[in-house]
Chain A
Amino acid sequence: MRSTVVKKVIMAVTGLIMIAFLLMHMYGNLKMFAGEEAFDHYAHWLKGDILYPIVPQGWFIWIFRTGLLAALVLHIWSAASLSMRTLAVRGPGYDKFKPQAQTYSARTMRWGGILVGLFIVFHLLQFTVKVLRTGFDANAGPYEMFVLSFSTWWVFAFYAVLMVLICMHVRHGFWSAFQTLGLNSSAKSQRWLNLLGIGVGVVLYVGFMLPPVAVLIGWVN
């Protein structure tokens, strides 16, 4: 556990878990287009019937949340401990430095990651705990919450910007995870992993932003 590479492996695995979750989350959001009933039913099913009767009703969501939380905590822990170490040992910084290879995504992993973390807290307080309500009341259903929130321009704008950060984080994180897990074996695979990373980032952005756009312009209400 002392090795930086082991911490990176933890970060890679938990990152990939969270990317998988994001893809699933995005898929669920797209259910918006199937109408209020289907969307609410899906949300309800998530919290209730999944894996029943293997586990009692309502347990799955907590197992799932625990898993995700563990992934998130481990991800942040490894990132924080690696970053603190690196910031302490790296050079003082050049007067002049001309990057030769780094992408904007790679450069913004650290502070981008912190912003994404803060965003997750906000997001949970908004839609899960429902204490930061953006235009809906405590009893609103999932579909209603969604529509009411994204009809507000600044909520939309806030998400539109934050999703860029998330997708950039994912774009470098995706390629990086495979590299860390040792699955990049040639210049060709490196190119493909990078393209895939960009692809996943773009898919997530488009997939997540389509429903809010639909809400904002009034397709869905």
Chain B
Amino acid sequence: MKLKLRIWRQAGPNATGKLVDYDIDGVSEDMSFLEMLDLLNENLTNVNEEPVAFDHDCREGICGMCGVVVNGIAHGGSSTTVCQLHMRSFADGATIEIEPWQAGAFPVLKDLAVDRSAFDRIIQAGGFISSNTGSAPDAHAMPAPKREADVAFDNATCIGCGACVAACPNSSAMLFTAAKITHLAMLPQGQPERYSRVKSMVAAHDEEGFGNCTNIGECAAVCPKGIPLESIAQLNRDLIKSMFTKDGK
């Protein structure tokens, strides 16, 4: 396959970026999208140009490190992450436009790589259960109803890739925050800190400079793990309840 690529190139966080055109030949349809970028980088290296920087690691859709906007869609319309997008989804001769995640809270580091450390800080604000190593009771001491445990699991599958923020016209990280809140709120072990957690995590979300949610639904549509919008409703519900709960602090 022969393709035309338009890729966002930006030398550093403070540099101005622009879309640069590249032609690439010899792409096989079995290649993954990132392998296609590897090939481009190999070609660029051979002509002594600097390769395109992009984040990636596991390349099996679970680490959450990769993520770019391909032709206007976060993760390029693959049902998981962009590393699982294969070139057979593109026509020979197609033009592919590749841009980094855009959000005020995700500054571009270089080319297609962005800084998502704001997510870690949201978790630091309360995305955990305070239980020191060694202090745990037997795992069967507290049964968890299967239905709730399953909802907890569905939300715990979030890989923190940031596609929700990238796709959101408001650059909101509500889906990310809601996934963690719902995961922990559905488990018996998560109850003691349930209401203080939602307050501090939402406060951290806002402080990090993410926009507010306007219930548009772009986030859930591109989420590689299928976290639903109702998780955000769960966050809202818990936040409202926290205002009437003593341990909501």
Answer yes or no: A and B touching, Cβ < 8 Å. Answer: yes
Q: Which residues of A contact B (CB under 8 A)?
A: 2-9, 82, 85-86, 88-103, 106-107, 109, 172, 175-176, 178-187, 189-190
Among candidates A94, A102, A172, A180, residue contacting B69 with C-beta atoms closer than 8 Å: A94
Q: Are B211 and A95 in contact (CB under 8 A)?
A: no
A185 to B222, CA, bound (A): 20
Enumerate B191-245 residues with CB–CB distance to A below 8 Å: 199, 202-203, 205-206, 209-218, 220-222, 228-230, 232-240, 243
Closest 8 CB pairs of A and B: A182-B237, A91-B102, A98-B72, A86-B211, A4-B212, A100-B221, A101-B221, A90-B171
Can you report 21 A-B residue pairs in the complex whose CB atoms are below 8 A from each other?
A: A3-B202, A4-B213, A8-B236, A9-B236, A85-B212, A86-B170, A88-B104, A89-B171, A90-B171, A91-B101, A109-B214, A176-B214, A181-B236, A182-B233, A182-B235, A183-B237, A184-B230, A184-B233, A186-B230, A187-B228, A190-B228
A99 to B199, CA, bound (A): 31
**Are B236 and A89 in touch, CB under 8 angstroms?**
no
**Contact yes or no, B230 A189, CB < 8 A:** yes
A-contacting residues, B160-215, CB 8 Å = 166-172, 199, 202-203, 205-206, 209-215
How many residues of chain B are within 8 Å of chain A by beta carbon?
Answer: 52
Choose one: B101, B202, B228; the contact of A5 (CB below 8 Å).
Answer: B202
Known A95-B99, A102-B169: A179·B71 in contact at CB below 8 Å: no
Residues of A within 8 A of B217 (CB): 101-102, 106
Contact B236 A179 (CB under 8 A): yes
Q: How far is the CA of A178 from the CA of B235 in the complex (A)?
A: 13
**A99–B6 CA distance with the chains assembled, in angstroms:** 20
Q: Which residues of B contact A (CB under 8 A)?
A: 6, 19, 69, 71-73, 97, 99, 101-106, 166-172, 199, 202-203, 205-206, 209-218, 220-222, 228-230, 232-240, 243
Q: Beyond A3-B202, A97-B69: 16 further Cβ-contacts under 8 Å? A: A2-B206, A4-B212, A4-B213, A85-B211, A86-B170, A86-B171, A86-B211, A94-B69, A96-B69, A109-B214, A179-B215, A179-B233, A182-B233, A183-B237, A189-B230, A190-B228
Q: With A85-B211, A102-B169, A102-B217 in contact, is A5–B239 under 8 Å at CB? A: yes
Contact, CB under 8 Å: B202 / A4: yes
Query: Taking the nearest CB of chain B, how far is it from the CB of A70, in angstroms?
Result: 20
Contacting pair B216 A102 (CB below 8 A): yes
Residues of B within 8 A of A178 (CB): 233
Task: Tell me how far the C-beta of A22 lies from the nearest C-beta in chain B, rounded to whole angstroms.
Answer: 20
Whether the pair B216, A95 counts as a contact (CB closer than 8 A) is no
| B233, A100: Cβ atoms closer than 8 Å | no
Among B101, B105, B171, B229, which residue has its beta carbon within 8 angstroms of that of A190? B229
A residues near B172, Cβ cutoff 8 Å: 86
Residues of B within 8 A of A187 (CB): 228, 230
A90-B103, A91-B104 in contact; A182/B238 too (CB < 8 A)? Answer: yes
Q: Is the CB of A96 within 8 A of B202?
A: no
Say whether A92 contacts B102, CB under 8 Å: yes
Determine whether the beta carbon of A183 is less than 8 Å from that of B228.
no
Residue in B202, B205, B212 whose Cβ sees the most chain A Cβ within 10 Å: B212
Question: Which among A101, A176, A189 has the greatest number of chain B C-beta atoms within 10 A?
Answer: A101
Which residues of chain B are near A102, meaning CB under 8 Å?
169, 216-218
Bound CA–CA A194/B101 (angstroms): 29
B147 CB to nearest A CB, Å: 12
| Closest CB in chain A relative to B206 CB, distance in Å | 5
Please, which residues of chain A bring their CB within 8 A of the CB of B72? 94, 96-98
A112 to B169, CA, bound (A): 16
Task: Tell me, in angstroms, the Cα distance from A100 to B243 when the chains sit together.
Answer: 34
Q: Determine the chain A residues whose CB is within 8 A of the CB of B234 once the complex forms.
A: 182, 185
CB contacts (< 8 Å) of A106 on chain B: these are 214-217
Q: Collect the chain B residues with CB atoms within 8 Å of residue A91's CB.
A: 101-104, 106, 166, 171
